[in-house]
Structure 1
Amino acid sequence: RKPFPDDQVEAFLKETQKLDISPTFIHALYLVNLASTNNDILEKSINSLVIDIQNGARIKSAGVIVHIGSHLGAGFDAVKDQLVAVIQRILASTENCNLILENDAGQNGKIGSPEEISYLIKTINDDRLKVCLDSAHLFESGVDIRKIDSVEKFSQQLTQLNLVDKLVCLHLNDSATALDSHRDMHANIGEGEIGLEGLKNLINHSTFNSLPLILEVPGENRAGCDEKNITLVKGLIN
């Protein structure tokens, strides 16, 4: 990661204002692992995130979304103190832009369950630490959002974990893998295992219906998000 050139920052701010695009977010590198026991990987992860957050502040981004990383089988308890210290260091080194923790798909070793995120947010206790939910990860980790009562139960869980007020965005993706698969693979809207009704259940629930939606879908010919996916999502909003 490198600081954004001034001319690109100026052009970005001008264009987002002209097109009325707000809020904007930055996604951290997928190679980031804040739980790594390899000091070289850890320092590169920290430095990358610090630059991302500094860049985010310059483009008036709402925050930098990050996958926390993996404990590689050691267990969350083995790395939680390191995670707290590392995140505190990143926040202390930056300002004017949030750090946003994303839920994971429950893959072996990955960190990002609601309970783990809640622990980090409660322990660190910093207003700039926020949460992004990914619908595919949610489904892949075992929450059946195809059922409205499951969405309600999950909402209640977030309330109990004091995470509702920390939510700032929703990655809206269908899942190419089955419920509780613990495999992170996105599908186009309505073409995966969740389907249109499941995604509709989630985005229209009172806990989630005011969140900005970001699509991370393959699109036609795997060229990324496209008009077809966006139109489908707009049709799901009550």
Structure 2
Amino acid sequence: MRSIGGHVSIAGGLPNAISNTLKIDGTGMQIFAGSPRLWFRKPFSDAEVSAFLSGIRENHLGPVFIHALYLLNLASGDPVLFEKSLNSLIMDIQNGARIHSAGVIIHIGSHLGAGFESVKDQLVAAIQRVLALTENCDLILENAAGQNGKIGSLTELSFLINAVANPRLKICLDTAHLFASGIDLRSPESVKKFISDVKEFNLLNRLVCLHLNDCASDLGSHRDLHANLGEGKIGLEGLKLFVNQKELVHLPLILEVPGDNKQGPNLQNITTAKGLTI
């Protein structure tokens, strides 16, 4: 059975991610390993790790993904911001290893208009450094909508995968980001072409997760705006078409939708997601 879950809160302690997942009838989950608004990261305590892992086993949940800070930018030319980005990412991966996470998903960052060529060597070195200083947990690059120099096109992801050349480097595809970047998920021809491109870049074996989100912005707008399933510009038929591609049906689905009053994925969205899968 396909794993479907949402990004859930760990407010009050890591084990609360278990109850928050069960409330929305999820089978997998994504969390922040600390405050999403603060650089500071600390190791999970032994007690909360033990309680969390017990909850995972008892409720047959998984996989568990960690989402890195949105603040980080591995392409930053500011040495202070760059080091903060590296340090927070390393701590997230270390925490991920302790809770048997399937990986830490990151928004790579932005070249701020300077162009990918100007930052690609820095990115490769940064990713290699992070992987060298961690173990037992993958680093997962997420595709980008392309706004404000955000890095994460298929071409850029392919370059980084090949240049870093580490089996722990994986990829997550976000449906809202794909649509905003110009991939029309409502069109069978467009989806077929995209899957063909993924194969051509030899990235299929690196895919480990789909972020299942509708898109509140227009096709090709390069605006990263998520919507509840069926309430955006992709629509349920487009999302259903994409997630049921034979090359993608094995991938877990993680929702990052606003839900009710921007409280995050809810039971209704999870139920809708389950109805999309064949």
**After TM superposition, is the score higher than 0.5?**
yes
**2:137 alignment partner in structure 1:** 97
TM-score, structure 2 normalization? 0.85
Alignment of 1:19 with 2:59, yes or no, is yes
**2:260 alignment partner in structure 1:** 220
Looking at structure 2, the residues matched to 180 and 207 of structure 1 have their Cα atoms a distance apart, in angstroms, of 24
5 Å matches for 1:6-85?
Answer: 6-85=46-125
Q: Any stretches of 5+ residues in structure 2 without a counterpart?
A: 1-40
CA displacement at 1:111 relative to structure 2: 0.4
Letter in 1 for 2:159: Y
**1:119 alignment partner in structure 2:** 159
Amino-acid identity (%) = 63
The alignment of Structure 1 onto Structure 2 pairs a total of residues equal to: 238
Looking at structure 1, the residues matched to 112 and 217 of structure 2 have their Cα atoms a distance apart, in angstroms, of 22
Looking at structure 2, the residues matched to 208 and 112 of structure 1 have their Cα atoms a distance apart, in angstroms, of 19
SS at match of 2:220: coil
Higher relative contact order (CA 8 A, sep 6+): 2
Looking at structure 2, the residues matched to 234 and 157 of structure 1 have their Cα atoms a distance apart, in angstroms, of 27
SS at match of 1:214: strand
CA displacement at 1:108 relative to structure 2: 2.5
1:47-83 CA distances to partner (integer Å, 9 max, x unpaired)?
0000000000000000000000000110000000000
Looking at structure 1, the residues matched to 141 and 94 of structure 2 have their Cα atoms a distance apart, in angstroms, of 17
Letter in 2 for 1:157: D
Looking at structure 1, the residues matched to 262 and 124 of structure 2 have their Cα atoms a distance apart, in angstroms, of 37
Query: Which of 120, 127, 150 is the aligned partner of 1:110?
Result: 150
**1:161 alignment partner in structure 2:** 201
TM-score, structure 1 normalization? 0.99
Looking at structure 2, the residues matched to 110 and 98 of structure 1 have their Cα atoms a distance apart, in angstroms, of 22
1:28-61 CA distances to partner (integer Å, 9 max, x unpaired)?
0000100000000000000000000000000000
Alignment of 1:135 with 2:169, yes or no, is no
Query: Which of 200, 203, 209 is the aligned partner of 2:249?
Result: 209
